[in-house]
Amino acid sequence: SQTIHQWPATLVQPVGSPLSLECTVEGTSNPNLYWYRQAAGRGLQLLFYSVGIGQISSEVPQNLSASRPQDRQFILSSKKLLLSDSGFYLCASYLGPWGTGELFFGEGSRLTVL
Amino acid sequence: DQQVKQNSPSLSVQEGRISILNCDYTNSMFDYFLWYKKYPAEGPTFLISISSIKDKNEDGRFTVFLNKSAKHLSLHIVPSQPGDSAVYFCAASRIQGAQKLVFGQGTRLTINP
């Protein structure tokens, strides 16, 4: 079965500081990986997705970036955090089979920017 | 542009009765629809899905209905149980492509004993 590890689980950072959230996936190979964010009182917004190592697609212009240095590792970063970056960040993996499966989510990382 | 909308931010239902959560979408290219359940401080968990070639899919107490002409889907939970209290998200995607799910805003369901 598939497992997604996200860390840190909780993070409080000052405005202007850097950010690194990590996600690793176990139990599968060559997954599609996704970063979603849930802002307060809002739904889940897709930020980035990756279909393979080094392949990143950005869904919305923002202060964040993503990288996929290894097959089962997905990293969300920022050089300078903004207040609006606060939220609950979720890493997800596509379970397949192709076209008929669903996304499997990790436990999330809560970021508060002060 | 909110392509998937859940217009009811909250719903309160008596235990044992039916819970009906609604979702509307605007993009006619969507052909696969899912419902997720989310507890606070946890990731969403998959509940049930339906493809556009069907109009109903049932799994135990959960049934999803799809009305393509109205671009509307609903989730029925019967009978409702206290453990069903959570935020429910509907999501839509295209079967072809990178499986990018577009989520609604969520509906907070509270089951009262």
Mean pLDDT by 10 residues, chain B (113 residues): 90 98 95 93 92 95 97 98 96 81 94 94
Per-residue tokens: B5: 């909308």
| pLDDT at A100 > cutoff 80 | no
Chain A residues whose beta carbon lies within 8 Å of the beta carbon of residue B36: 105
Contact (Cβ atoms closer than 8 angstroms) between residue A82 and residue A63: yes
Query: Would you call B100 and A59 a contact, using CB atoms and an 8 Å cutoff?
Result: yes
Residues 6+ apart with CB under 8 A from A95: A2, A28, A101, A102, A103, A104
| pLDDT at A99 > cutoff 60 | no
Chain B residues whose beta carbon lies within 8 Å of the beta carbon of residue A102: 34, 46, 49, 101
More confident of the two residues A94 and B86: B86
Q: What is the pLDDT of residue A64?
A: 94
Q: What is the C-alpha separation between B112 and B64, in angstroms, rounded?
A: 22
Residues above pLDDT 70, as percent of chain A:
94
Q: What is the pLDDT of residue A42?
A: 76
Q: What is the pLDDT of residue B4?
A: 94
More confident of the two residues A101 and B41: B41
Q: What is the pLDDT of residue A97?
A: 64
- Respond yes or no on whether the N-terminal peptide bond of residue A61 is cis (omega within 30° of 0): no
Query: Would you call B43 and A106 a contact, using CB atoms and an 8 Å cutoff?
Result: yes
Q: What is the pLDDT of residues A14-69, one digit of tens each?
A: 999 999 999 999 988 889 999 999 987 778 999 999 999 999 999 876 789 999 99
What is the distance of C-alpha B78 from the center of its chain?
A: 14
Q: What is the pLDDT of residue A59?
A: 86
Chain B residues whose beta carbon lies within 8 Å of the beta carbon of residue A99: 32, 95-96, 99
Q: How far is CA B33 from CA A7, B28, B39, B66, B104, in A?
A: 29, 12, 20, 9, 11
